[in-house]
Amino acid sequence: MSKRTVTFGEIMLRLAPEGYYRFVQAGSYGATYGGGEANVAVSLANYGLDSSFVTKLPAHEIGQAGINSLRQFGVDTTDIVRGGKRVGIYFLEKGASQRPSKVIYDRAGSSIAEAVAEDFDWDAIFEGADWFHFTGITPALGDNVAEICLEACRKAKEKGVIVSCDLNYRNKLWSKEKAGKVMGELCKYVDVCIANEEDAGDVFGIKAADTDVTTGKVNHEGYKDVAKRLADRFGFQKVAITLRESLSANDNNWAGMIYSGGEYYFSKKYTMHIVDRVGGGDSFGAGLIYASLADMSAQESIEFAVAASCLKHSIEGDFNQVSVEEVKKLAGGDASGRVQR
């Protein structure tokens, strides 16, 4: 499939204690890279698409290591701007049983957070592009980055590029009020909206009835209403929502729904024993993008996206390192996990 995708955001250095050690126990940290839109770019490259990631990184070796982490999966890094002083960092403590995972950010003053509009030539970046993706994390980095996102969205629409956004609200980065105002403007340019159980409520005050994410209770009818209200408000062509029933930090039930053409489509539900849940939503978004570009039906698209994300929960690190064939096999019903010889 000859399609070109562009994602824009921040790639960060991820530092995590070994296994399930807590921060206060750790004597060393494993170092990998990840970040919402970078995770999507890697997934799409693994699916065989021409996948480009756009950001700003320092010219020193740590910035180069971030670029190398993308290149090894075939992501096009040509449009990454070099400059600034630091790579953003996030620390991850994996949860277990009833103890939740924890994330601590150390990203203030990163190169992308201090980027300016002149850093990015969106006319050139979108040349030949079919799809543009960003998340609500990126405009939360600062008013300057929000303006860059807005310019990217405007230019994408001028060029006929499909735009998708994962709302991805992060309360450690901005308030609900600020998120609602900024994302409300950006969503005017979005064709495909992606959210989880909480995002629509946090960002736009659109909540699912009879649902409590802290107890794992998910009401399908409530999410139908959320999807329709989002589409009606912004004119989205599609709204996709992940449905996570959190039984514990290690065990979740996982499904999704998509609202498209005035109809609702739900995937099958998977019971997952989690290895690493970071990047789970990004792998869902990437699966949906691939399925849409491959002209899959709405039902096939949501099955592919949920299966892709289910597999990501079994993989260490932010990146979803699976193939189209592996996803299709799970989506097709082979969830046994039996050894393949």
Q: What is the pLDDT of residue 338?
A: 79
Q: Which of 282, 295, 318, 334 is catalytic?
A: 282
Tell me how far CA of residue 6 lies from CA of 47, 49, 250, 289, 323, in angstroms.
Answer: 14, 10, 33, 11, 19
- The residue with tokens 């699916």 is 47
Q: What is the pLDDT of residue 215?
A: 62
Q: What single string gives the DSSP state of each residue in 198-253?
A: THHHHHH----TT-BTTTTB--HHHHHHHHHHHHHHH--SEEEEEEEEESSSSEEE
Active site residue 143: no
Q: What is the pLDDT of residue 315?
A: 97
User: How many residues would you count in the chain?
Assistant: 341
Task: Tell me the β-bridge partners of 103.
Answer: 92
Q: Give the Cα separation of 79 and 48 in Å (integer).
A: 19
**Residue-by-residue pLDDT tens, the chain, 341 positions:** 789 999 999 999 999 999 999 999 999 999 999 999 999 999 999 999 999 999 999 999 999 999 999 999 999 999 999 999 999 999 999 999 999 999 999 999 999 999 999 999 999 999 999 999 999 999 999 999 999 999 999 999 999 999 999 999 999 899 999 999 999 999 999 999 999 878 999 999 998 776 666 666 677 788 899 999 999 999 999 999 999 999 999 999 999 999 999 999 999 999 999 999 999 999 999 999 999 999 999 999 999 999 999 999 999 999 999 999 999 999 999 888 877 77
pTM of the full structure: 0.95
Q: What is the pLDDT of residue 209?
A: 74
The pair of three-digit structure tokens given for residue 226, joined into one six-digit string? 């959320």
226: nearest Cα among 215, 244, 243, 239:
239
Q: Give the Cα separation of 181 and 119 in Å (integer).
A: 25
Q: What is the pLDDT of residue 222?
A: 85
114: nearest Cα among 75, 87, 150:
87
Answer for the pair 52, 80: CB distance below 8 angstroms, yes or no. no
